[in-house]
A and B are shown apart, each in its own frame.
Chain A
């Protein structure tokens, strides 16, 4: 019997409708929006402003995080309340490079980043070695969050820490990391973090082309994450993950070691968050320890819950709904945003346990039932 090549199986995991949706999304994000931003002059009603490009780009970064979160929470049943850490680590890893690209254009006209001059440091700390290299930055983005996740996950999963205990520990982890990054001595800009970026690979970071380039890259990454996610959840590994969620002891007694499965999906999830963080920082122009605040990590779980757990498109929808609402509220009624977020979470938990996607499926099932 002939073996189906892996790439065919990988791409075949996404059904035809999925590919059509991806093609449409790609056409909009890779062609239409960039063209409307770059080619249509400002003032024309069809012009897409820099604000919109940056906002959508930022939310797409969040959407990648939400899908990564769903792989570990929705599909494997492990609720992490510390995913902001991996996002921030990816952001910081790339931020170091962005700081070095400022060169002597900072306020102090020094080779060192401004915050180091301010602290009266004479040279770069050892862990900034190589931070002027773009490739080294990419390497750090791909390895640091994943490595932290691997080490933490190994000890947590080996000790069979589960459920709410795991959630609390991840929350403590992200909080501890935030306090660590707040210190000036840590060498990552303390309170203020990194900002005032000027260039990537020598090109101006504020140029419209750069903005659109980052936007398109983020969109491509999000679509790739969805295709990868689709393969994972339809693979045998995905079914073992669902089995771990349903009955972990049974999984062990039929001969699987859940440690390896959990560690794989957990580390992959952190890796995706790290990439999202690295795409996020140059688009919003800042990274500071606030990204590691416990509330931020909880918000990630809310995106997934609102959109619909254990679906791939749900987290993307959830990230867009919550963050568009956030930008609206923080402009219109800033003081009410957190009340709204809390109410949204309570409402979804009570009435929409399967999120927006679950609601849509229910309505569709009803309509099919009514016509037949």
Chain B
């Protein structure tokens, strides 16, 4: 039995100066699903995330979150409040703040300026931050300046920041890039444990990692879906082989 859809893209088209970054892209992510997206460079993976999170506007098509929320006209902060979290390709954290403060700012709460001016952390918030620190294995580094962390730790911190938002849908752009094998394996475990409670969309190039995650795989090519299915099926698809090896 299939779950209700958390994210539905219907024939989404985005053009930059005549170049179609997304070409009638349709995608359906179910609630609690862990979906991997692969595709060669320029296939439109990052543009797709930009459209979902409000950074880029779709020229045509529908983007529906949680079945009936149209996100196309909403701003980035509004979309974030709906429950969509995004991890960038390059770790994007607040380098001059401590690890603890990075998580504190990410926490799901009232984020208006006039509230922040008087806000203070209660015990529950402290506990929640401590839990996340342990989960991303940075509890020893809580008071350290985030800019001083190793690359892998920064990736984990950013994942932790996403989790603090308690999002329904996590968009993860190359989350294990630059991680050691050990870190990659642990990240895979973490994602698998999150699936079900959250929905995850993972863009990756690392096939071993995708195999570990084990979810459905979507192959993007020139802005639309080329193939979809489990990893083995997709890998044996003649068109996919051509796109990856043909040129």
Contacts and interface: CB of A to CB of B under 8 A. Distances in A.
Contact of A252 (B77, B101, B119): B77
A6 B80 CA distance: 29
Given A249-B92, A261-B113, A236 B97 contact: no
A257 B115 CA distance: 12
B113 A239 contact: no
B46 to A, nearest CB: 13
B104 A242 contact: no
Contact of B97 (A243, A253, A261, A264): A243
B92 A255 contact: no
Given A235-B116, A239-B104, A252 B94 contact: no
Contact of A245 (B55, B85, B96): B96
Interface in A217-269: 232, 235-237, 239-240, 242-243, 245-247, 249-257, 260-261, 264
A253 B117 contact: no
Contacts of B123: 1
Q: By CB atoms of chain B within 10 A, which of A6, A240, A252, A254 has the most?
A: A254
Nearest to A3: B120
Given A249-B92, A250-B94, A253-B85, A236 B122 contact: no
A4 interface: yes
A9 interface: yes
Contact of B105 (A232, A254, A257, A260): A254
Given A1-B123, A250-B161, A254-B106, 6 more contacts: A237-B119, A246-B97, A249-B88, A252-B77, A254-B165, A256-B111
B77 A240 contact: no
A308 to B, nearest CB: 15
Across the A-B interface, give the 8 residue pairs with the lowest CB-CB distance, nearest first.
A255-B80, A252-B76, A260-B113, A237-B116, A236-B119, A246-B94, A243-B94, A250-B92
A247 B94 CA distance: 6
A235 B85 contact: no
A31 to B, nearest CB: 33
Contacts of A257: 75, 77, 111-113
A181 B3 CA distance: 67
B96 A255 contact: no
Contacts of A239: 97, 101, 104-105
Given A9-B120, A246-B94, A247-B93, A253 B86 contact: yes
A253 B116 contact: no
A40 B161 CA distance: 62
Q: By CB atoms of chain A within 10 A, which of B111, B112, B120 has the most?
A: B111
Nearest to B98: A239
B7 to A, nearest CB: 16
A245 B96 CA distance: 9
Give the interface size bracket for B toward A. 20 to 34
B85 A246 contact: no
Contact of B80 (A9, A253, A264): A253
B199 interface: no
Contacts of B165: 254-255
Nearest to B112: A260
Contacts of B81: 255
Contact of B161 (A232, A249, A254, A261): A254
A237 B111 CA distance: 10
Contacts of B161: 250, 254
B175 to A, nearest CB: 15
B139 to A, nearest CB: 20
A236 B77 contact: no
A242 B94 CA distance: 8
Interface in B50-88: 53, 55, 75-77, 80-81, 85-86, 88
A250 B102 CA distance: 11
A255 B94 contact: no
A247 B101 CA distance: 14
B95 interface: yes
B123 to A, nearest CB: 6
Nearest to A231: B117
Contacts of B19: none
Given A9-B120, A243-B94, A246-B97, A253 B53 contact: yes
A247 B95 CA distance: 8
Q: By CB atoms of chain B within 10 A, which of A232, A253, A260, A264 has the most?
A: A253
B105 A243 contact: yes
A52 to B, nearest CB: 39
Contacts of B75: 252, 257
Given A6-B118, A9-B120, A254-B165, A242 B96 contact: yes
